[in-house]
Structure 1
């Protein structure tokens, strides 16, 4: 829950960018879908116990950006026409690639940042700048298994997104129709 909430926090600026409300919502969805992805290492460590560990390579900026580029390319190749139809804006393949890649990177990097805030207390250290810099960058501000924090933060982010999205829909709708 905490990673989804952090993904929502990091995706919040999408509502103020120069997209229509559908494109902004899609950006938020892509970011939130990517937010838990670095924890794929918990599954990979079961299959490859000697090669993968939690907070290892999947919790690095290099990994998140690489996966975001791959996912952005897949979205651009398969969903550009649908995104173009769903939004009021023209999304050609190149623009879809950049849009999706940035959204996925925002979600994945939010996860790495959240783990930097909370990981050192009960888990292995996180080294987000590996392979360029070896060393933990965790600052242990939060206990990430605290259900009150996770539920509260996620609930707050959902409410904030609903309010901001409603405001964006209302503001953009008024500007398109010439209203106040």
Structure 2
């Protein structure tokens, strides 16, 4: 598990790449903005463990199953209320397509980014995760990144920022080319 800034960085990386591949211009940036808060979604277990005995960090909420179910539920809510607002305010004339798929996709990609960061950094101070539970019940941890490593955490974050900035500049260049 990387630190919060590392999870946000990994979320930026995944969301920017997927957003760039799936959408054009502002719609790709909207995808990143919509999804980034959910790059911390699996760590909801840290809060749940305070309220419910037996909830373990890196347990069931650190699985593809949980991320997928949460993405459908949260993404549908976003697709119903937030994505239309984004379209009216910031993405006018954009190619969002299905608003629900856009919301679900943003949450799902961000959640999977979190799991990938935990796979790369566990088990330095936390248990490895079992991302494919209940189908595959083995823990998975590659331990390439160290949790408290400023280089790893800030490296992920700065990489995500650079990728997002490149996307931003591409959008602004294409917007200025259209208006010129």
What SS does the aligned partner of 1:77 have? helix
Separation in 2 of the partners of 1:167 and 1:39?
33
Give yes or no for the alignment of 1:112 onto 2:115: yes
What SS does the aligned partner of 1:137 have? coil
Give 1 or 2 for the bigger CA radius of gyration.
1
- The gaps in structure 2 that reach 5 residues or longer are none
Which residue does the alignment assign to 2:24? 19
Separation in 1 of the partners of 2:131 and 2:23?
31
Deviations 1:10-62, CA, capped at 9 Å, x for gaps: 012223544331x2222101221110110010111122222x10100110001
Check whether the contact 2:79–2:104 (CA below 8 A) recurs between aligned residues. Answer: no
Check whether the contact 1:72–1:96 (CA below 8 A) recurs between aligned residues. Answer: no
How many correspondences in the alignment?
174
Structure 1 residue 91 displacement after superposition: 7.0
- The gaps in structure 1 that reach 5 residues or longer are none
Structure 1 residue 9 displacement after superposition: 0.7
Which residue does the alignment assign to 1:155? 158
What SS does the aligned partner of 2:122 have? helix
Deviations 1:150-176, CA, capped at 9 Å, x for gaps: 1232123213311231123203441x3
Give yes or no for the alignment of 1:129 onto 2:132: yes
Q: Summarize the Cα distance change of 1:165–1:45 in structure 2 as closer, same or farther, 3 Å threshold.
A: same
Which residue does the alignment assign to 1:33? 37
What TM-score does the superposition give when structure 1 sets the normalisation length? 0.87
Separation in 2 of the partners of 1:35 and 1:60?
13
Runs of 4+ in 1 over 2 A off after TM superposition: 15-20, 88-92
Which residue does the alignment assign to 1:103? 106
Between 1 and 2, higher relative CO (CA 8 Å, sep ≥ 6) is seen in 2
Separation in 2 of the partners of 1:138 and 1:42?
19
Check whether the contact 1:19–1:89 (CA below 8 A) recurs between aligned residues. Answer: no
Structure 1 residue 83 displacement after superposition: 2.5
What TM-score does the superposition give when structure 2 sets the normalisation length? 0.87
